[in-house]
A and B are shown apart, each in its own frame.
Chain A
């Protein structure tokens, strides 16, 4: 069954048209990795999916669990089961991490005990009564974002560069957490969680065996394939080289 279907999506940020005719289909239990150079529109796609009002949908539709969510406010999408971990979440003075975790637990239907248990697992217990993201290190921000995701327990998990600016020790912790969130340890038939992961370096792929990878280039999806394969091609030929090769293959297949 398809969980997410994105049809001909166009998105504008300010006056700039960032996404053009993006089409995407994700099945229940599937995890997608999204590569692409800076500014190609990867974060824009995730922000449009969660309904960030700064990202205006100019064309197309977003269907989640067969419901058209294109015009729904963010919190309604969250209630339906979309969850996001941001790359650079804002600092909010006076609002403590514990407050936000309680909001998340309300979405996921978890108790206070579960908050403590997961905070422990993500090594964030010392930060519970600190203002959210204020003075957090890069790794702490990522761990806090994942902890919030876990408590919301979404069916579609959007991860915006969960491994960027993170040291090796944190990458392992974060990688393990994402593998659990996306149920990658379960057998294919048992998986119910779907995900889109944006990554630059691909470190996260050492921990999470994604099903597919795609390159977002110049506002369009190109080059869908095996994650390892695509990552190697990007490493060896760069994005441009990889795309040229892909397009040639496509021409051949036509």
Chain B
């Protein structure tokens, strides 16, 4: 498998940074999009389908009903740009009842085009379990824009975890547009990791959460000098007894971060919690946390917690009293800050996240 990747002319180191293994023994499926071309895709597990959205549209007539179903073509100039014949992306689907614990990997690689336009559709059919790791990156030195439309459908009692690692460059502008529909009893976990420099990321995924369903979003975002990251998550709790949890950890070392969060309680007996924590590691830079809670029923339970600051001296001193130097103590605290415990995520994905954080640490400290 890895040899095949070698011929594709992609930078393997860049892929590793975003958790792409290039090893079929460790993945249940793979997909690689270079600019607009699906270079390779395959499923190694019978319960899961992995193909390009182009091929999937030809194969399944019903798929057109999912295309632009929960996102609007005319939402903004970027969705309009993505609404083109050229668009390509992945189609990943776990079949009803299938348990796909080993993750499917999907890589979106920007090699030379000015604007990469992507449309992805992921479907976890009724009662199935699916784990995906998606790595998005660009070829060293290239400049451009990535516009990614993603629509996720978590069917009744299905479980979907989606871990996305971004590693761009100061020359790349990124505009993902994402919506997720979680049907009755379903659960969706999203992990978003962005630790390397980027020109601009602007995104605000929305989850529509139905009866007894759950949506959990974790993000770890670092903005180095020159990066602007405007990233939020919205959860609309539209079914009785649905739940959402949105947790973000942001670190600015000279860059600008706007951390948004919005939970709408639009049904009785729903529960939502928002947590934005920010750490300022340098004198310049900016973190703007904007948590919003919106209740449309009296019996909802919505809460938020936001805190931004520098590292507490008391914590540094405590670790120094256990033998660490000041630098070691700061590094341990920052690492701890970025470590979010994610329940229900396969170990392989926990490991990918851990490794990404380790790789980024040297730029941070």
Does A74 contact B320, Cβ atoms closer than 8 Å? yes
Instruction: Kindly identify which residue among A73, A84, A100, A152 contacts B326, using a CB–CB cutoff of 8 Å.
Output: A73
Instruction: Kindly identify which residue among A50, A89, A95 contacts B336, using a CB–CB cutoff of 8 Å.
Output: A95
- A96 to B339: give the CA distance in the assembly, Å: 10
Does A107 contact B322, Cβ atoms closer than 8 Å? yes
Does B318 contact A75, Cβ atoms closer than 8 Å? no
- A20 to B321: give the CA distance in the assembly, Å: 25
Q: With A92-B333, A92-B336 as given contacts, are A53 and B317 in contact (CB-CB < 8 Å)?
A: yes
- A99 to B336: give the CA distance in the assembly, Å: 10
Instruction: Kindly identify which residue among B323, B333, B340 contacts A103, using a CB–CB cutoff of 8 Å.
Output: B323
Does A75 contact B339, Cβ atoms closer than 8 Å? no
Query: What 0/1 pattern do residues 329 to 346 of B give for CB contact below 8 A with A?
Result: 000110111111000000
- A138 to B315: give the CA distance in the assembly, Å: 19
- A79 to B336: give the CA distance in the assembly, Å: 24
- A74 to B337: give the CA distance in the assembly, Å: 23
Select from chain B the residue with minimum beta-carbon distance to A74.
Answer: B320
Interface residue B314 (Cβ < 8 Å from any Cβ of A) = yes
What is the interface residue range for chain A against chain B?
A: 20 to 34
Chain A residue numbers with a CB within 8 Å of B13 are none
7 pairs of A and B residues whose beta carbons are closest in the complex:
A94-B336, A95-B336, A107-B323, A74-B320, A94-B339, A103-B322, A75-B320
Q: How many residue pairs, one in A and one in B, have C-beta atoms under 8 Å apart?
A: 71
- A186 to B339: give the CA distance in the assembly, Å: 44
Chain A residue numbers with a CB within 8 Å of B1 are none
- A238 to B338: give the CA distance in the assembly, Å: 50
Q: In the assembled complex, how far is the CB of residue B277 from the closest CB belonging to chain A, in whole angstroms?
A: 8
- A196 to B337: give the CA distance in the assembly, Å: 34
Does A52 contact B317, Cβ atoms closer than 8 Å? yes
Chain A residue numbers with a CB within 8 Å of B325 are 73, 75
- A152 to B313: give the CA distance in the assembly, Å: 22
Does B332 contact A104, Cβ atoms closer than 8 Å? no
Chain B residue numbers with a CB within 8 Å of A74 are 317, 320-321
Chain B residue numbers with a CB within 8 Å of A232 are none
